[in-house]
Chain A
Amino acid sequence: MSDNHDSASGVPTSGHVWDDDLADFVNQPPKWWMLGLTASAIWVVVYLLIYPAIPLPSAGTFFKGIGLPGLNVPQPGVDAKDNNKWTAIKELSQDQAELDAVRKPFEDKIKVMTPAAILADDKLTEYVTRSGKVLFSDNCAACHGQNGKGTFQSGKFAMREQGYMAPILLDDDWLYGGKIDDIYTSISGGRQGMMVAHKDSLSAQQIDDVAKYVKAMSEEGGKDKADADSAVAAGKKVFAESDCTACHGADAKGMAAMGSANLTDKIWRFDGSIAGITQTITYGVNSGDPQARVAIMPVWLKKDEQGHVVSKLDETAIKKLAVYVYKFGGGQKDEVAAAPAVEAVPAAK
């Protein structure tokens, strides 16, 4: 290989010399090592050919896979005699079948049970909250926020301090009711908040007074403020005499049936500042006014005339979501009298 030799040992070198006497030995690697290298090189070729790596029409291994003893994976569109051949796709479908088999007993039960019955069963609830998490992240989190913690409106409405894009689902304030069946109904049928714009029926001064009164009601001892603060007192008068009580009730606690907000609690669907409340009262919610608040919960369950589900989510998925949302911590038990309420989109407070 080389005419150069190390002077001390007589071993052939590559001929490069550094620092006067450093040289590269060109000793042969051990024989076993060379054999291993050659064997690996041959194996690479063999492996490429028999492993489904190159689409060879003659071998047909690319789509059918390599034969493995003991494997039996039927695959649609593939000859039965190739059932013992391995491909990644087959392995995937095998794994999926395994998973489905584990889920099946749960899924079968959920299909025929009511959401309330699922909730009563600890094991099912555990199962449902796990699969519900995935459903929620895929379908609901965009508006309600990851884990239902709420997310702020962005884009077109961001400038108007819209507040939360959709209600926080973790608390115990529900515009349309927080019982398991209410939640199911809200998801499957959707909700549309409604509040008329008051910019024509009330003067700016009146709106300002009502806003102050509404704000005061949510605060500790707020109702008594009316006696001390003239603006609040004026607002109280407007609230009682105009159409406010028609929807929010004389006690201002809202009505779950129509999704009007409870104005006496600490939860604000939209911006809870005086300016924010003024904005809501002036332009309303989904009122048709271009500056109105927008609050729309889409319909998640749609069926065609034959009764087939045509929406992305079916009843089973919505049951899971209802239980999952209920379990966030704000769900209301059936015995308890319905508090104010809503799931999904609501009117302003």
Chain B
Amino acid sequence: MSEATNKQLDNSSNVTDIYSEHIEWATNLGEKTIHAKRAPGRFRTLKYFTESLWLIFFFGAYLRWNGKQAVLLDVNNRQFHIFNITILPQDIWMVSLLLLLMAMTLFAVTSVASRVFCGYFCFQTAWVDLFTWIEEKIEGNPNKRHKLDAAPLSLHKIRVKATKHLIWFAIAIFTGISFTVWFVDAHSYWDDLLHFHLSAIEKATLFAFTMGTYVLAGFLREQTCLWLCPYARIQAVMADSQTILPAYDLQRGEPRGKLQKGKVIEKQGDCIDCFQCVQVCPTGVDIRDGQQLGCITCGLCLDACDSVMDKIGRPRGLIRYASLDELEGRSVKKIYQHPRTFIYVGILLLALSGIIYGLTHLGNLTLRVAPERQPLYVTMSDGSIQNKYTFKVLNKTDKDVEVKVSAEGGIPGQILVDADKPQLIHHGKAAGFTVFVKAPGANVHEEVTKIEFRVVNILNPAMSAEYDTVFNGPEDEHGHEHK
């Protein structure tokens, strides 16, 4: 697209000069470093607030709960601790529901208000914002930074640049540490870190996240949003003409033209072509070209343009959050008039209720019983039929328990061989044992009979778990003998 635009502009010779700057901005392939201007405004303030949510990422892991880390995603021991709740691999289906929930939220929000996540919450945006804030403090405003970049190497330049990179790197390391401490005990991690006792995987994680942060936020910056991020690529399919996003009011702004003697020319539109909106844009796009991949909908250009409109005494909102329909004067549908809102909300609710169900039905004892498949049953010398079952009992509490096995259903006269012996299940562990069920051959009439096993904590009968399975027998009641 930019190719075509450039070509067109080249052809209209007498305006080429005015737009030379624009061409430079529009083809952003990373050759030019973008030094965006930091301007105050409503959305700027909002962005500071939303980005500060990431403080939880930095400090949340140090929160303690009953003497243990409140949120610990203990991948090593394959269990997640979230306050009082322990999630073991068996409950991991809830995590997939959680991912579904988050994906759906993202889609729903995107379809209604486009890339809110990108502009206000995304870690890439937040870290780049922090890095450029530091850059501005050390190297000065965008003009100074451009000059410094172009200046020949000097002691001053080295000093300034080195300071910046040191601080960046320190933040990157702290990011790496903060990520890791969600997966291991935060306190002992610092201990290990300061004594250089990190495990290989901890070292690798720290290295990967430090370098990732340093490179992505320090160097790649908007290039990440433009060329790396998959969400940026697919967001277009979720947005349509009713989605609100930062938009330039073409009808009002065009034809744009520079102020002459400080006055707006009557036949010109409201846009005074001051490029403030482009200067502040962290991804360096010109929103006046319409919706585009590069726009992360951060709202900073709205602030910039509003302040220009205030100065020249025009109403705010030349650039504003608006849908295409609104800009083109078509009727605007309400949110609840979109069928897709209901579909998204429906899926959201389903996932949410699944998670709530899961969390409230975690239980503290789970039972899985696998009937032996090879062979399905054994004929004993007295003609009785014996089935073998492999029990897996998972104890999710923090105490060891002893359980007893019993069965309901099955065959009249069946006995559970050796089941009177209590089975010890260590806390947080799954134990396996075998149970034989022997039933008189004369009573086995069906190939498959339902049977329900139950394990009960001996000391606390309220703690139990059941599992439905089957008792297998011969094809017909007379078929006991082997061929």
Contacts and interface: CB of A to CB of B under 8 A. Distances in A.
Interface residues of B, number: 25
B334 interface: no
A11 B386 CA distance: 79
Nearest to A265: B381
Interface stretch (B167-175, B244-252, B372-380, B463-471): B372-380
A86 to B, nearest CB: 14
A173 B382 CA distance: 9
Contacts of A164: 482
A171 B375 contact: no
Contacts of A168: 378, 482
A262 B434 CA distance: 28
A76 interface: no
B293 interface: no
A9 B482 CA distance: 83
A149 B375 contact: yes
Contacts of A10: 7
B275 interface: no
Contacts of B441: 266
Interface string A125-162: 00000000000000000000011011000000000000
A interface, over-half SS: loop
Interface string A66-108: 0000000000000000000000000000000000000000000
A147 B373 CA distance: 10
A266 B374 contact: no
A170 interface: yes
B15 interface: no
Contacts of A267: 379-381, 482
Given A9-B7, A329-B386, A170 B482 contact: no
A330 to B, nearest CB: 8
A163 interface: yes
Given A266-B480, A327-B434, A8 B381 contact: no
A11 B434 contact: no
Interface in B413-440: 417, 434, 436
Given A329-B378, A329-B388, 16 more contacts: A9-B3, A9-B7, A30-B29, A147-B372, A147-B375, A150-B482, A170-B378, A170-B388, A171-B386, A218-B481, A266-B481, A271-B483, A327-B434, A329-B417, A330-B378, A340-B381
A172 interface: yes
B383 interface: yes
Contacts of B482: 150, 163-164, 168, 267-268, 272
A202 B281 CA distance: 108
B462 interface: no
Contact of B380 (A30, A163, A266, A327): A266
Interface string B439-483: 001100000000000000000000000000000000000001111
A8 B380 contact: no
A10 to B, nearest CB: 7
Interface of B: 3-4, 7, 29-30, 372, 374-375, 378-383, 386, 388, 417, 434, 436, 441-442, 480-483
B207 to A, nearest CB: 15
B380 A171 contact: yes
A132 to B, nearest CB: 13
A171 B381 contact: yes
A339 interface: yes
A171 to B, nearest CB: 5
- Which of B381, B383, B480, B481 lies at the interface centre, i.e. has the most chain A CB atoms within 10 A of its CB? B381
Contacts of B386: 170-171, 329
B383 to A, nearest CB: 4
13 contacts: A9-B3, A11-B3, A30-B29, A30-B30, A147-B374, A149-B378, A170-B386, A170-B388, A266-B382, A267-B381, A271-B483, A272-B481, A330-B380
Contact of B374 (A149, A265, A268): A149
Interface of A: 8-11, 30, 32, 146-147, 149-150, 163-164, 168, 170-173, 218, 220, 262, 265-268, 271-272, 327, 329-330, 339-340
A262 B3 CA distance: 94
**Which of B388, B417, B482 has most A Cβ within 10 Å?**
B482
A173 B381 contact: yes
A329 B436 contact: yes
A218 B383 CA distance: 9
A266 B379 contact: yes
Which of B3, B378, B379 has its CB near the most chain A CB atoms (within 10 A)? B378
A103 to B, nearest CB: 19
A31 to B, nearest CB: 9
A170 B481 contact: no
Nearest to B480: A266
B381 to A, nearest CB: 4
A335 B388 CA distance: 23
Contacts of A8: 4, 7
B7 A173 contact: no
Given A168-B378, A172-B381, A327-B434, A268 B481 contact: yes
Contact of B382 (A150, A265, A268): A265
B381 A170 contact: no
B380 A173 contact: yes
B141 to A, nearest CB: 28
B381 A266 contact: yes
Contacts of A32: 30
Nearest to B373: A147
B388 to A, nearest CB: 6
Nearest to A70: B200
Contacts of A268: 481-482
A265 B380 CA distance: 8
A220 to B, nearest CB: 8
Nearest to B223: A32
Contacts of B30: 30, 32
A71 to B, nearest CB: 12
B421 to A, nearest CB: 9
Contacts of B388: 170, 329
Contacts of B378: 149, 168, 170-171, 329-330
Most buried by B among A268, A329, A330: A329
Contacts of A9: 3-4, 7
B227 to A, nearest CB: 9
B153 to A, nearest CB: 22
A146 B374 contact: yes
A150 B375 CA distance: 9
A330 B4 CA distance: 84
A88 B19 CA distance: 62
A172 B3 contact: no
A178 B442 CA distance: 25
B89 to A, nearest CB: 21
A11 B480 CA distance: 83
A246 to B, nearest CB: 22
Contacts of B483: 163, 271-272
